[in-house]
Chain A
Amino acid sequence: MQYLVSVIDDTAGLATPEEMAAIDVFNGRLMAEGHWVFAGGLAAPSSATVIDNRGAEEMFTDGPFLESKEYLAGFWVMEAAGLDVALKLAAEGSKHCNRKVEVRPFL
């Protein structure tokens, strides 16, 4: 069972060196314990481009598709036996990266 752990940011700041170091340690543990699938940090929402190619021609729009105070700053994809394990890992992740996180199961 895989879970997406989204890192939600409302501070408009990138992770500090201390936070990055803590995240690295945490990632090492995820790998060692077999929970690691993938993870990554994202550039600021202002760098986003929205593409809509459902119509006759491709449309590119500058900026995020949703303007909000809270945005996705990064994510983990974790392997966990059930929600209790995923929640525990996500709680640790939140502490290490010093941000709110959201847990969602993959289908």
Chain B
Amino acid sequence: MSVAGAREAIIQAHHEEWARVVASLTRRFGDLDIAEEAAAEAFAAAAGRWPAGGVPPSPGAWLTTTANRKAIDRIRRENKRDDKQKEAQLLSDNDPPEPPGAIDDERLRLIFSCCHPALAMETRVALTLRMVAGLTVAEIARAFLVQETTMGQRITRAKAKIKAARIPYRVPSAADLPARVSGVLAVLFLVFNEGYLATGPDTDPVRHDLTAEAIRLTRLIRALMPEDGEVAGLLALMLLTEARRTARVSASGELVTLDEQDRGTWDAALIAEGHRLVRERLAARVAPGRYQILAAINAVHTSARDLRATDWSQVVALYDQLVRLDPSPIIALNRAIAVAELDGPEVALAAIDRLEDKLAGYHAYHATRADLLRRLGRSQKSRAAYDKAIEMAGNAAEVAYLTRRRDQLR
């Protein structure tokens, strides 16, 4: 076994086994802290031993056994074997055993604990990336542009709260499951969007590390809950968005909008996979949730040869469906963008102007208005709207695009 081969095996094992090791240790020792540390030590041990001694036949079993040993060592070291104290600190699992056939993968317990509604959203994101995805604290801190110590404290506080408040280590009951799954999906979508619409002047406009991590986690949840339509919908939405990633930013670092993208550079394999998921959900004949509808909208876009060949009436019909589920002004704004293609910019502008109260602080509102005003030849108003959008936009590629568009106005 070459050193490079061993390193490759460790990276692969990290992707495939990290969450499983953390989850099973948490179950056994009832402590996220111990599980996290022991898992990290086991992977460090693998990095030390595998290059010379060879990769074990079952890397996952080797890692779990090693991590278990490390955890027991730590518990001994800290003299935590005092039963009373141990009992008080264990995460609880007061559930009767799951009936056979129910979702019983331990990684799901871990995911639901990390995404518990009693934790703040930013905490859920950090904890999920650390405990489930196995990113280091430094990597997570870099991804969200905060100091490493700050991120470390956030994760430590979260683990302490889970323990002290007894956030249960279990898959929610059937009655609570839909709401809790949507909480998990919100975390994954936030990670994806942070990658896709990276904010901050010094970050890359698209953070592939984050979008890839979000897709990997969503694939995992999809494998664990194959029947859930919204999980499939979110995965499809991410794949169809990710497929256009390279076409979305030009060589000079400027955002390329859908109408100007080179569709030949879209990733055909990701699109095919996304379309398959969307078709699967259509065939299920169950009323779709918001991620499934968003995925379907993206399926329409990625099916069209060019902007003009897009089935805009279908897109608008899907947005109508979405508005009924989620009457948020941002959905209404996106619907109006589709309406502009179907009924013209005048109609769209009238719809958008009704949203001003709610969206005046949102850069995309001004960017959309600017574009519609430009298409209607109202240059002066368009320029003012571009100015506002540029002022509010956080994404570097978007600022570059908006600035060029503004400067091209006559």
Residues of A within 8 A of B (CB): 1, 81-84, 87, 103-105, 107
Contact = CB atoms under 8 A, between A and B. Distances in A.
Interface string B92-106: 101000000000000
B164 A82 contact: no
A107 B85 CA distance: 12
Given A81-B92, A84-B172, A105 B166 contact: yes
Given A81-B94, A83-B118, A105 B172 contact: no
Contacts of B116: 83
Nearest to A106: B164
22 contacts: A1-B166, A81-B166, A81-B168, A82-B92, A82-B94, A82-B166, A82-B167, A83-B116, A83-B118, A83-B165, A83-B167, A84-B167, A84-B168, A84-B172, A84-B176, A87-B117, A87-B118, A103-B118, A103-B165, A104-B165, A105-B164, A105-B166
Interface residues of B, number: 12
A76 B122 CA distance: 30
Contacts of A1: 92, 166
Contacts of B94: 81-82
Main secondary structure of the interface of A (DSSP, over half): mixed
Which 4 A-B residue pairings sit nearest by Cβ, starting from the closest?
A82-B168, A82-B166, A81-B94, A105-B165
Contacts of B165: 83, 103-105
Nearest to A105: B165
B249 to A, nearest CB: 43
A51 to B, nearest CB: 28
Given A81-B94, A82-B168, A83-B116, 12 more contacts: A81-B92, A81-B168, A82-B92, A83-B118, A83-B167, A84-B167, A84-B172, A103-B118, A104-B165, A105-B164, A105-B166, A107-B164
A84 B162 CA distance: 11
Contacts of A107: 164
B97 to A, nearest CB: 16
Interface string B176-192: 10000000000000000
Contacts of B166: 1, 81-83, 105
Contacts of B164: 105, 107
A88 to B, nearest CB: 9
Contacts of B117: 87
Contacts of A104: 165
A95 B176 CA distance: 19
Contacts of A87: 117-118
A87 B110 CA distance: 19
Q: Output the residue of A83, A104, A107 with the most chain B CB within 10 A.
A: A83
- Which of A1, A82, A103 has most B Cβ within 10 Å? A82
A81 to B, nearest CB: 5
Contacts of B176: 84
A81 B173 CA distance: 14
A87 B180 CA distance: 14
Nearest to B164: A105
Contacts of B118: 83, 87, 103
Contacts of B172: 84
Nearest to A80: B166
A82 B92 CA distance: 7
A105 B172 CA distance: 20
B177 to A, nearest CB: 12
A10 to B, nearest CB: 22
A91 B298 CA distance: 38
A36 B317 CA distance: 52
Contacts of A105: 164-166
B175 to A, nearest CB: 10
Nearest to A88: B176
B26 to A, nearest CB: 15
Interface in B127-177: 164-168, 172, 176
Contacts of B168: 81-84
Nearest to A1: B166
A84 B168 CA distance: 7
B91 to A, nearest CB: 9
A2 to B, nearest CB: 10
Nearest to A104: B165
Contacts of A103: 118, 165
Interface string B63-107: 000000000000000000000000000001010000000000000
A1 B91 CA distance: 11
Contacts of A84: 167-168, 172, 176
